Structure 1
Amino acid sequence: MVNWTQMHDCYGDVDRVPALLEQVELEDDAEAWKELGYRLVLEHDLVFPAGFAALPRLMCLASRSARARGLAGTILRRAAGHHGCDDLLANCAEEISEFRRLLDRHLQSRPADYLAAFLASLAAMEEYHRSAVLGDFTDDFYHLVCPNCAVEVTIAIGDYGCYSAIRDWNKGDVDRRDLRPTPSEALSGTGRWMYETAVRDGHEALADGIALLFGKAECPACASVFDVANEYTSANRPVLR
């Protein structure tokens, strides 16, 4: 049972969020959903305790409400970092597991919000660093550090090309080197799940981008070859609580 007297929202209120939850549970009120969203989540990835307290009820609503599914996913994707609500997340582990299964069924329907649901699925797997910054690989850039010489390397994956480069703010990306994708059969763990899910659901561009993200890149400065996913994880690792 949540003690709402300790669960403040972005305004410091402790009674408005439970009232709004009761309202949206009774009817799909667009204005109530709008107010609920901005009371729970601010820009810059900040979620308030009331947001984590609301998660179990939002995830229970997710099977019949796209708004609930979207808001629950948004909150879950911000579950890394200093929020002081680890106990609330631990207490809804069962609901998170069911939410992940629901998201998987939703992905198979090839919905318009496919990427958002895909990222929420990663968050439900506690892959927060991927769910926070992964794009759809149409216009994606990742700024990593070469593990050998420590120079900043730009990784581009998109319609314009798939390469590593040194970024010059006057000339653009210079000294480009083609990325080397990992063969699908060599993928494992989360990378394999990501790739196979995208292929299953007919998202070939996303699958191809994942193979490149889990592939190899050559540093234009020192010519050393490094694993993109490892450096991506290092650069985007969640803040330890």
Structure 2
Amino acid sequence: MYDCYGDVDRVPELLARAEREDEAEVWDELGHRLILEGDMVFPASFAALPCLVSLASRSARARGPAGAIVRCAAGDHDCDDLPASCAEAIAEFRSVLNHHLRSRPDDYLTPFRDSIAVEGHYHWSAVLGDFSDDFYQVASPHCAVEVTIAIGGYGRYSAVRDWDLGDVDRRDPRPVSPEGLSGIGRWMHETAVRDGEVVLADGIAHLFGRAECPRCAGVFNIADEYASSNRPLM
């Protein structure tokens, strides 16, 4: 159960200290040892997850590394059997995150993305923004041209991106109604609505809606096409 530095005994020592004292110095070192550059985890990361989750209900500092580890579960970490061994801790973390989201924290998007990862949808957890300036690149299933989907301050549209001219031949989006959502899209939208995150909910309705390809006029489901290209192989 080695950590980022190859050590096998330092993380247990730090976790024991974290249970006694919620000190920033302890959490900083734990973060450095358990998650490298925000997207690489180690056997010690998964071994530490149950303890981190048990602390997360009373320590905001524990939620950060716990969420980062769950988000990295689908990554290339050479310990594919370990995430499954953390199923009980991940289920408990789902409850912790749900309670935290209901409190409407200022950093709402971070625990929201952690919750998406807990549900196993790592691609959405990795790319979902706050829809202030979000762009998604999707290949049209009808003609294979790359279509830019904009959902944010620059507008809401599908377009073909030109190197010199920017997004050209824009087409209006076709957001889905709440009743038309299902699966993870429905969960994301209902959670955002429940917690008063109006912009986030509206962005999700557009992301899980339909778009028109400017090149061939074919209409497709944005989320389905994006997920099929970006969903990690587990």
Taking structure 2 as the reference length, the TM-score comes to 0.96
Contact 1:142–1:156 (8 Å) recurs in 2: yes
**How large is the Cα RMSD of the aligned pairs?**
1.2
1:51 aligned onto 2:72: no
Aligned residue in 1 for 2:132: 138
Per-residue deviation at 1:55?
Answer: 0.7
Q: 2:36 aligns with which of 30, 42, 55?
A: 42
Which shifted more, 220-229 or 82-91?
82-91
Q: 1:150 aligns with which of 137, 141, 144?
A: 144
1:62 aligned onto 2:56: yes
Q: 1:169 aligns with which of 146, 160, 163?
A: 163
Q: 1:71 aligns with which of 40, 53, 65?
A: 65
Aligned residue in 2 for 1:212: 206
Q: Distance in 1 between matches of 2:192 and 2:38?
A: 28
Write out per-residue CA displacement over residues 171-217 of structure 1, whole angstroms, 9 at most, x where no aligned residue. Answer: 11111111100011111111111111101100010000000011000
Q: Distance in 2 between matches of 1:135 and 1:57?
A: 29
Aligned residue in 2 for 1:100: 94
Q: Distance in 1 between matches of 2:62 and 2:96?
A: 12
Q: Distance in 2 between matches of 1:236 and 1:122?
A: 15
Which shifted more, 124-133 or 86-95?
86-95
Contact 1:52–1:85 (8 Å) recurs in 2: no
SS of the counterpart of 1:94? helix
Aligned residue in 2 for 1:234: 228
Per-residue deviation at 1:77?
Answer: 0.7
Contact 1:40–1:50 (8 Å) recurs in 2: yes
Contact 2:40–2:76 (8 Å) recurs in 1: no
Q: Distance in 1 between matches of 2:12 and 2:142?
A: 52
SS of the counterpart of 2:81? helix
Aligned residue in 2 for 1:196: 190
Q: Distance in 2 between matches of 1:80 and 1:160?
A: 32
Which shifted more, 188-197 or 83-92?
83-92
Per-residue deviation at 1:234?
Answer: 1.6
Q: 1:179 aligns with which of 139, 152, 173?
A: 173
What amino acid maps onto 1:167 in structure 2? R
Q: Distance in 2 between matches of 1:82 and 1:15?
A: 23
Write out per-residue CA displacement over residues 112-157 of structure 1, whole angstroms, 9 at most, x where no aligned residue. Answer: 1211111111111111111111111111011111111111111110
Paired residues, what number?
Answer: 234
Sequence identity, in percent? 68
SS of the counterpart of 1:86? coil
Q: Distance in 2 between matches of 1:227 and 1:178?
A: 14
Q: Distance in 2 between matches of 1:91 and 1:79?
A: 12
Aligned residue in 2 for 1:3: none
Write out per-residue CA displacement over residues 88-123 of structure 1, whole angstroms, 9 at most, x where no aligned residue. Answer: 222221221111011111111100121111111111
Q: Distance in 1 between matches of 2:61 and 2:168?
A: 43
| Structure 1: 4+ residue segments shifted above 3 A | none
1:115 aligned onto 2:109: yes
Aligned residue in 2 for 1:4: none
Q: Distance in 1 between matches of 2:75 and 2:109?
A: 22
Per-residue deviation at 1:44?
Answer: 5.8
